[in-house]
Amino acid sequence: MRSDTVKRIATECGFELAGIAAAEPIAADVARFEHWVERGMAGEMRYMTDRRAELRRDPRSLLPSARSVICVGKLYNAAPEVKDPPVSRYAWGSRDYHDVLREGLQQLVKRLLEIEPFDWRICVDTAPLLERSYARQAGLGWIGKNTCLIHEPLGSWFFLAEILASLELEPDGPPPDRCGSCTRCIDACPTHALIPNEDGSTTLDSRRCISYLTIELRGPAPDDLRPGIAHHIFGCDICQDVCPWNSRAPVTDEPAFAPRDQPPLQSIARMSEEEFRTYSRGTPLVRPKYAGFMRNVEIALENTER
């Protein structure tokens, strides 16, 4: 099977980005990830540090017959309903992106199997795979100083997903890093979660990241970081909002990612647990659960009253 055939069909299945990487370890990125974990920067995200950390070294630990990683990106950028919304852009829609991407990948697998039989495994965010690294190797973009994958000229508002395949496909190559001397994302982060490195890259200290604090963290947020969380109640887009490569980013036409009406903070604060379940059902908002979400609302209200 030809790589350009795979990428063409991926586009027809609703993915704006598609490329091929070899299904083999990326030694430098594995070492960087392991050093990041050793420094404690994964915080309480145990799925990054338990036995699954070992699996991230080699995609063939997930599919032994894998020869290629088919990498795709699906645009989720949408026009905001309000200025500076409290919910991260990826959670504005009516459906969980995992389901939307998986459906598209299943369609892609089905069409590829009509051409040639092969072993496969779908990976959507939750699999122990260094997906940004393989997306970069597949030519989908470079890893920016905000640690997001950035595509020239479409920006960084993309969900990433992969198909591990036993197909021997011609791999693409990584594009050049085009962040240059820009430090807008580093400078804009209110909790100073992006740490500059001597080589010009950055390291994300998850323990200080607003997305981590409002989604992954269980229990109270550190007192010194609560003011920086500001009005955010689920995730944060600041480091992407300020990125120049997103200034002309296209808007998705995917209905599942169209913004829903967001009630004001005061109304959310009065939600019962059952009302929260109804409000968040089928969306990424379920992740912090009721207790975590209400903690976030409490912090946001506290900050708006300062």
Give Cα 142 distance to the centre of its chain: 14
DSSP-derived letter for residue 93 is S
Provide the b/e sequence for 144-166 (b: ≥16 CB within 10 Å): bbbbbbbbeebbbbbbbbbbbbb
> CB-side exposure of 175: number of CA atoms within 13 Å?
18
- Best CA proximity match to 16, nearest among 24, 5, 25, 7: 7
CA gap 203, 195 in Å, rounded? 5
What's the one-letter identity of residue 210? I
96 is annotated as an active-site residue: no
Of the residues 84, 96, 119, 125, only one is catalytic, namely 125
Q: Residue holding tokens 């070294």?
A: 57
Residue 265: CB partners within 8 Å, gap ≥ 6? 86, 231, 233, 297, 300, 301, 304
DSSP assignments along 118-185, one per residue: --EEEE-SSSSS-HHHHHHHTTS-EE-TTSSEEBTTTBS-EEEEEEEES-------PPPP--TT--HH
* Secondary structure percentages of the chain, helix, strand, coil, to 5: 40, 15, 45
Which residues form the catalytic set?
A: 125
